[in-house]
Amino acid sequence: MNTSGPVDQGLRLIPFRGLRYVPERVGSLAAVTSPPYDVVVRPDGLHHLESADPHNIVRLILPQADTARDRHRQAAATLDRWLAEGVIAPDPDPVLYVYEQRNDEILQRGLIGALALSPAAEGIVLPHEDVMDDVVADRAELMRTTGAHLEPLLLTYRGDGGTTTGAGAVIDRTVLREPLLATTTEDGFRHRLWAVTDPSDRREIETDLARHQALIADGHHRWATYLRLQQEQTAPGPWDYGLVLLVDTARHPLQVRAIHRLLRNLPVSRALKALTGHFRVQRVEGPLPRALDVLAEAAAAGNAFLLAGDGGFHLVDRPDPALLARTVRADRPDAWRTLDATVLHSALLDEVWRIPDAPEHIGYIHDTAAAVEQAERLDATAVLMHPVREEVVRDLARQGVTMPRKSTSFGPKPATGLVMRSLTLD
């Protein structure tokens, strides 16, 4: 994203020695990759990844054991064993990486490197969502125990659209060469990775990025984790940088999707009964795509949600203005006060349904069909959301206003497992 004027110190992306799978030691590169840890929410999805290859990265980002301490120790031991066995190996020299994701409809290219950390107050890297302390604590212990950044965050900035100089020009030249790796994951995306080794290319990237600030598109909890671990250090070092993928959205616009809520202990019948007098409720005919079209139409006129879990769909819209006046904070911009996520958490979850925002009560699910399926299986309520427009996210971030956590899902997200960063090699 562009700043409103020149910045004294913008983005600083430095090379690192990437940890990468050795292709000859695994079934395939696609079989050892995973979506980001917070997208792998279904047990069947976790088991599918674990069975895809004995070295799938999910064994590091989501290790399975009885206690959190045992999980983190298991991940560290697994990483050490794979390094000792040559399943994973560090690249010989520190480099920046060009990363490409492509399917029949989308082409996204960006730079993977170690980004200098900065608090939000400095205006260099801007968050747009709140975080949950328990998730940050868990990710911090995993990073601390493994001594590694296992998956890159997705950050965006807005370049000037030029193709002759700057980071974009370096990327365009780099992709003409043979890649370090190429693979196609089961979601149909083709992934390619290149190393940027020429010092003049790196200087060109450095000069360009220094003029920009970035928006965290995906990875708020991991960015908060980076900052927490940096504060624990007593001297400058590798913890002052975090593994990121930087994408220029002037060249490669991201998709913005909603993240849905699974209310584990609230059946749909009880949820609907509590809405009387607070929201309009209408039954909507399926199937799911048709119901989502109805949600989109209603969301264009105001706050709207789609409830599912009882075999049908229920449109919830037209909130009572008195309820909103009583429950939504008045000291925030109108763009924040009218967000669906704000109304959901302030009016519905906190006031009408009185559901604590804790993992045992609320699940956050990216996949719409998965949210409906889990709600029906658990006799729970899925609250399906409509996506927020990217410009709203960016404008609020510029104002220093964070949205309710898990308000957006930007993508495509980088595949986890193609390149990692050891904090002992830098």
**Which residues, in sequence order, are CB contacts of 63 under 8 Å at separation 6+?**
71, 72, 74, 75, 78
Query: What pLDDT, in 10s, does the model give residues 207-254?
Result: 999 999 999 999 999 999 999 999 999 999 999 999 999 999 999 988
> Does the residue 3 lie in any domain?
no
d(CA 419, CA 425): 14
Is the domain of 165 the same as that of 26?
Answer: yes
Q: Rounded CA gap, 298 and 363, in Å?
A: 24
**Helix ranges, 63-164 (H):** 68-85, 133-146
Instruction: State percent of the chain over pLDDT 70.
Output: 94
How far, in Å, CA of 379 to CA of 213, rounded? 44
Tell me, yes or no, whether 65 and 196 share the same domain: yes
d(CA 219, CA 223): 6
CATH, residue 86:
3.90.1530.10
Residues 272 and 248 placed together within one structural domain of the fold = no
Residues 342 and 392 both lie in one domain: yes
| Segment 297-310, tens digit of pLDDT | 999 999 999 999 99
Residue 270 lies inside a defined structural domain of this protein: yes
168 and 31 within one domain: yes
Calpha distance 403→396 (Å, rounded): 8
Of residues 132 and 349, the one with the higher pLDDT is 349
Shared domain check, 267 and 400 = yes
User: Is residue 9 pLDDT above 80, yes or no?
Assistant: no
Q: Are residues 179 and 235 in the same domain?
A: yes
Q: What is the CB neighbour count within 10 angstroms for residue 343?
A: 23
* 296 and 361 both lie in a single domain: yes
Q: What value does the mean pLDDT take over residues 193-199?
A: 97
Summary mean pLDDT of the chain: 91
- Position 117 in a domain: yes
Domain that holds residue 80: 13-255+411-422
Within-domain flag for 1: no
Task: Tell me: do 56 and 202 sit in the same domain.
Answer: yes
Residues 252-278: tens digit of each pLDDT = 988 888 999 999 999 999 999 999 999
Q: Is the CA virtual torsion 389, 392, 397, 402 positive or negative?
A: negative
Q: Are residues 175 and 318 in the same domain?
A: no
Residue 148 has pLDDT above 80, yes or no: yes
User: Amino acid identity of 353?
Assistant: W
> Is residue 23 a part of any domain in this protein?
yes
Q: Which one, of 241, 248, 243, lies nearest residue 212 by Cα?
A: 248
Same domain? For 416 and 395 the reply is: no
Question: Is residue 273 assigned to a domain?
Answer: yes
Q: What is the value of pTM for the model shown?
A: 0.82
Give Cα separations from 107 to 103, 231, 409, 411 (angstroms). Answer: 7, 37, 18, 11
Strand partners, 244: 113, 153
How many domains in the chain? 2
* Residue from 67, 41, 68 nearest 264 by CA: 41
In a domain, 266, yes or no: yes
DSSP conformational letter for 17 = -
Residues 91 and 204 in one domain: yes
pLDDT digits (tens, 9 = 90+) for 46-104: 666 766 789 999 999 989 888 999 999 999 999 999 999 999 999 999 999 999 999 99
Q: 400: left (phi > 0), else alpha (psi -120 to 50), else beta?
A: left
Question: What percentage of the chain exceeds 90 in pLDDT?
Answer: 77
Distances (CA, A) of 422 to 140, 193, 242, 267: 15, 18, 11, 45
Q: Measure Cα distances from 212 to 26, 155, 164, 176, 202 in Å.
A: 39, 12, 18, 26, 16
Within a domain: 7:
no
pLDDT over threshold 70, residue 5 = no
Choose among 255, 96, 252: nearest CA to 159.
Answer: 252
